[in-house]
Amino acid sequence: MTLTRRQKWRIEKVQSEKISRANNASIKAESSIEKGTEELHGLVITRYGQRQLIESNHGDLFQATGRQNIGLSVAGDRVLFQKVEGDEGVVTAIYPRKTELKRQDRLIAANIDQLWLVVAIEPHYQFELIDRYLIMAENSNLPINIIVNKIELSNNDNQLSNDFSHYIDLGYDVHFLSVKNKINLEKLKKSLVNRSHIFLGQSGVGKSSLINSLIPDLDLRVNEISTKSKLGKHTTTNTTIYHIPSGGDLIDSPGIREFQLDDLTEKQIVNGFREFKSLIGKCRFRNCQHINEPNCAIKKAIESGNINSSRYESYLNILP
């Protein structure tokens, strides 16, 4: 979906207002740093606009702006910061990131070990959307697993396992869950220990509900999906880290809106389909797009059943 000029103008206006507010705040904060203040180590818990919530090594929370020359830090960043006064601070350095998760070239979170794509029976999973997330993961070199939530709403279990069997064949882990009826939660819990995980996916699939069920007493805001459209209401608005008491971190993220889907290049798309990899370079034409060309290795693999036709359909739909 492309934005109308009016929508773009609105977004830009809101952005620039946010930026100028934050810049003023950051100049004020910088000028009041006491000389010789010690630098503290911290973890960015979330970012809102130009400000970030930082947790110090001692577990204290600070509201911080960033030094203007270091760029913005995001949830998961390890930083150095200085206390200004009370619970105010200024981030002075961002540690090099182990991993980066980006959307539309915007950094979403840092230092993540594992992505989890959450889909559900309602709103009903769509293969093209699933494949888009997998493409994003393959291109960020981050491992991704799939969670299918709300399985108690399914009235055809065979169909359900068929729908996901080709993802399992491709090497993606698929967990079938019901947060509501506590089905398969314990097994999932075991795979989350001591690493940093982010939950991604459409609004209303139950990302925040899942995190609530994995971390007792958290009580994140959740919202019923619309009875009519079966779509979520974009309840979570910030990408935020929560600690598992026994070790490990879970990051909740807002369900993306349609216009935030990545604009992918042809190269990224091809690279995003694992099962294409061994076939690249084996088509008759070097610049084969795998659409109508004769002697195409990918099309042959589809005919022989080695590539799933729903995946190929996604490929055709996602191509620019």
**Residue with Cβ nearer ligand GTP (130 or 205):** 205
| Binding site partner of 234, from Mg ion, Zn ion, ligand GTP, none, Cβ cut-off 5-8 A by kind | ligand GTP
Dihedral angle of Cα 308, 147, 224, 152, to the nearest 10 degrees: 90
CA distances in angstroms from 62 to 58, 151, 193, listed in the order given: 11, 40, 26
Judged by CB under 6 A, does residue 318 bind ligand GTP?
Answer: no
Question: Per-residue string for binding with ligand GTP, 202-221, x by CB under 6 A?
Answer: -xxxxxxx------------
d(CA 175, CA 69): 43
| Binding site partner of 27, from Zn ion, Mg ion, ligand GTP, none, Cβ cut-off 5-8 A by kind | none
**Cβ contact 110:77 at 8 Å:** yes
> Minimum distance from CB of 139 to Zn ion (Å)?
20
Given 136, 269, 288, 302, the residue binding Zn ion (CB under 5 A): 288
Listed in order, strand segments (DSSP E) in 150-269 are 174-176, 196-200, 240-243, 249-252
Given 110, 179, 241, 283, the residue binding Zn ion (CB under 5 A): 283
Burial class (CB within 10 angstroms; exposed 0-12, middle 13-18, buried 19+) of 162: exposed
**Cβ contact 76:105 at 8 Å:** no
Given 111, 235, 240, 314, the residue binding ligand GTP (CB under 6 A): 235
**Residue with Cβ nearer ligand GTP (118 or 301):** 118
Listed in order, strand segments (DSSP E) in the chain are 39-48, 51-56, 61-66, 78-83, 88-94, 100-103, 106-110, 114-120, 144-149, 174-176, 196-200, 240-243, 249-252
Number of residues lying near ligand GTP (CB under 6 A): 25
Given 79, 296, 307, 318, the residue binding Zn ion (CB under 5 A): 296
Judged by CB under 5 A, does residue 120 bind Zn ion?
Answer: no
**Residue with Cβ nearer Zn ion (98 or 284):** 284
Listed in order, strand segments (DSSP E) in 67-192 are 78-83, 88-94, 100-103, 106-110, 114-120, 144-149, 174-176
* Piece of 46-54, 154-162, 164-172, 178-186 that binds ligand GTP (CB under 6 A): 178-186
d(CA 31, CA 152): 57
**Cβ contact 180:225 at 8 Å:** no
Judged by CB under 6 A, does residue 223 bind ligand GTP?
Answer: yes
**Residue with Cβ nearer Mg ion (167 or 242):** 242
Structure tokens at 225: 């999906």
| Binding site partner of 283, from Mg ion, Zn ion, ligand GTP, none, Cβ cut-off 5-8 A by kind | Zn ion
DSSP bridge partners of 196 = 249
Amino acid identity for residue 81 in this structure: F
Dihedral angle of Cα 197, 201, 203, 204, to the nearest 10 degrees: -80
> Minimum distance from CB of 225 to Mg ion (Å)?
11
Question: Per-residue string for binding with ligand GTP, 34-53, x by CB under 6 A?
Answer: --------------------
**Residue with Cβ nearer ligand GTP (65 or 202):** 202
Q: At 251, phi and psi to the nearest 5? A: -110, 125
> Minimum distance from CB of 49 to Mg ion (Å)?
19
> Minimum distance from CB of 255 to ligand GTP (Å)?
3
- Which residues lie near ligand GTP (CB under 6 A)? 149-150, 152-153, 178-180, 203-209, 222-225, 232-236, 254-255
- Which residues lie near Zn ion (CB under 5 A)? 283, 288, 290, 296, 298
